[in-house]
Chains A and B, each alone.
Chain A
């Protein structure tokens, strides 16, 4: 008998996505769905979508979904968790959403240590609106609103979200991963799973920043987009854990971590 070694995750809807070819969002969608399967929490998970390319991400999971206004997803997820602690809300937010218009909601949900999960898709660009400068656009990087490249004298410097939030006492788990090759995709998968486990264990807020390719707005071939992450983006946004509280360490290293609390 043939053995199935690769199939669509249970928690993922059987439909086309609206993502562009080579976009990292598709991979992230799959990784989240795999985590929902592994942890068996699809019936309790709630996808809070944001504004940008993640706008209709709730279409792609077989769990309840809710739309947040631009930047407000952490506030929406906060209320879901406070009102129905048995649910597992997670947000999927781009860099413009989480680190520009939603900075206040991001910082304060983190400072309160809300027991929610934030997935932060950093592709250093406003993809949905056609490639304008994001708060994470690299210095010198071209965008449709920084002709000739981002200049620091007028457009300032990119924000390192993980580093900034790691200074707060509230969050439990802050990590940055990347999708630029299979080994790193596997690490991203593990981080996504860990973030859900942190919430299941009631340990507090997790933020997983995912460096993600946007070949269309970057005007690069998909393979070159991955190379751009590896060779350029990681220099500005180094990968790794920025905050792992003791409880999370125990969770990562401990036994039987998957049993829901």
Chain B
């Protein structure tokens, strides 16, 4: 029988990694994700696996490259300023098709910002962040349970597509404590004939992103781009709440979606037909679902903990005929449900007047 325990979000990520068979973790301390590093510093050596506190986030991501290249499941975790440093290695990973999981427990920014929860790294994580033509699978948990479950999924998808995968979560969820059902440990892992295991009885394996011959390079990048199209087709995940008869749809992820869920339920008691679409994958984005909703719904409200980043993807998906409003908080401050409710009331009032 599955065990249910109280757990902090960051620890749920760490335990999710353990259950997913993560053999190696490399990290550098930064708030608000330190519980992941601290938890694994004890947990992984107990299991005979690799834990290493690195000299920087640059070294940490480079070690994820080295570990992932040998075919083992590897992870690093960081928070926004450290995530910026890791973009270098992430771009190399994407180019060399080395799987690995990178957790970003986002805090306020830009710059050093503050240590409160935020979603200001959406552009960086979802659109690229590093140099060159590549995409990263982004998973956005909204509960402590999902922090465990999606971390496990992140390892699976990273291996499946030979691509880095992000867990993009805000600091509020990282620090939140909730009951979690402990999942069964993964026991089956995919074969990795491409891995660096020593060139014995086979031709040597090379893992790189470099191409000296300019004639060969476009076809190489094309292979990556084709892979991202397959990911777009197959890996979209989202959750809908009260969408069937909704007249206004709130779009929110992470802890903002929790406030949004409360706001939608409160709005319903007010007679406002509100619904919620919560993207679970930010890349690939649930653009088709939003597009379909836009055929019968004209009002969307994006709730996010940033100056307004995901709203650009919502606008692209629903087109110019729909009104897309923003309700947000930023700089490490949570977004109260009441504020989203106020925005919903305002939109409903405008709809009635029209």
Residues of A within 8 A of B (CB): 18, 42-46, 48-49, 55-56, 58-59, 61-69, 72, 75-80, 82-84, 86-87, 89, 104-105, 107-108
The minimal Cβ–Cβ distance linking A32 to chain B, given in whole angstroms, is 15
Q: Which of B56, B206, B209 contacts A104 (CB 8 A)?
A: B56
Stretch of B57-65, B110-118, B154-162, B310-318 on the interface side = B57-65
Check B338 for interface membership: any CB of A closer than 8 A.
Answer: no
Stretch of B88-96, B163-171, B185-193 on the interface side = B88-96
Q: Which of A65, A69, A78, A105 contacts B207 (CB 8 A)?
A: A65
Which residues of B203-252 are within 8 A (CB) of A?
204-210, 212
The minimal Cβ–Cβ distance linking A210 to chain B, given in whole angstroms, is 23
B200 partner residues in chain A, CB cutoff 8 A: 43-44
Q: Do A72 and B89 form a contact, CB below 8 Å, given A65-B208, A78-B52?
A: yes
A64 partner residues in chain B, CB cutoff 8 A: 196-199, 204-206
Stretch of B69-77, B142-150, B327-335 on the interface side = B69-77
Q: Do A66 and B54 form a contact, CB below 8 Å, given A79-B24, A79-B65, A79-B67?
A: no
Q: Do A105 and B197 form a contact, CB below 8 Å, given A78-B52, A79-B24?
A: no
Extra pairs beyond A48-B66, A56-B210, A75-B58 (8, CB < 8 Å): A56-B212, A64-B205, A66-B66, A66-B69, A83-B23, A83-B74, A84-B198, A104-B58
Q: Which of A62, A76, A107 contacts B199 (CB 8 A)?
A: A62
Check B283 for interface membership: any CB of A closer than 8 A.
Answer: no
- Docked CA distance A61–B206 (Å): 11
Nearest 7 A-B pairs (CB), nearest first?
Answer: A79-B66, A67-B208, A75-B62, A72-B62, A79-B63, A76-B66, A108-B55
Q: How many A-B residue pairs have CB under 8 A?
A: 134
A43 partner residues in chain B, CB cutoff 8 A: 198-200
- Docked CA distance A20–B24 (Å): 40
B67 partner residues in chain A, CB cutoff 8 A: 79-80, 82-83
Check B26 for interface membership: any CB of A closer than 8 A.
Answer: yes
In the complex, the chain B residue whose C-beta lies closest to that of A77 is B66
- Docked CA distance A65–B198 (Å): 9
A66 touches B59 (CB 8 A): no
B198 touches A80 (CB 8 A): no
Q: Mark B282-293, 1 if CB is under 8 A from A, else 0.
A: 000000000000
Q: Which of A77, A78, A79 contacts B74 (CB 8 A)?
A: A79
Q: Do A80 and B69 form a contact, CB below 8 Å, given A69-B88, A87-B198?
A: yes
B177 partner residues in chain A, CB cutoff 8 A: none
Check B50 for interface membership: any CB of A closer than 8 A.
Answer: yes
- Docked CA distance A231–B272 (Å): 86
A104 touches B55 (CB 8 A): yes
Which residues of B35-87 are within 8 A (CB) of A?
50, 52, 54-56, 58-60, 62-67, 69-70, 72, 74
- Docked CA distance A49–B198 (Å): 16
B52 partner residues in chain A, CB cutoff 8 A: 78-79, 82
- Docked CA distance A63–B54 (Å): 28
B65 partner residues in chain A, CB cutoff 8 A: 66, 68-69, 72, 76, 79
The minimal Cβ–Cβ distance linking B94 to chain A, given in whole angstroms, is 12
B50 touches A82 (CB 8 A): yes
Q: What are 29 contact pairs spanning A and B, CB under 8 A? A: A42-B199, A44-B198, A46-B196, A56-B210, A58-B208, A59-B206, A62-B199, A64-B197, A65-B196, A66-B196, A66-B206, A67-B96, A67-B207, A69-B62, A69-B65, A69-B92, A72-B59, A75-B54, A75-B63, A76-B63, A79-B62, A82-B63, A87-B196, A87-B197, A87-B198, A104-B56, A105-B55, A107-B55, A108-B54
B88 touches A78 (CB 8 A): no
B72 touches A18 (CB 8 A): no
B197 touches A66 (CB 8 A): no
A80 partner residues in chain B, CB cutoff 8 A: 66-67, 69-70, 196
- Docked CA distance A206–B233 (Å): 48
- Docked CA distance A77–B59 (Å): 11
- Docked CA distance A83–B92 (Å): 20
The minimal Cβ–Cβ distance linking B160 to chain A, given in whole angstroms, is 20
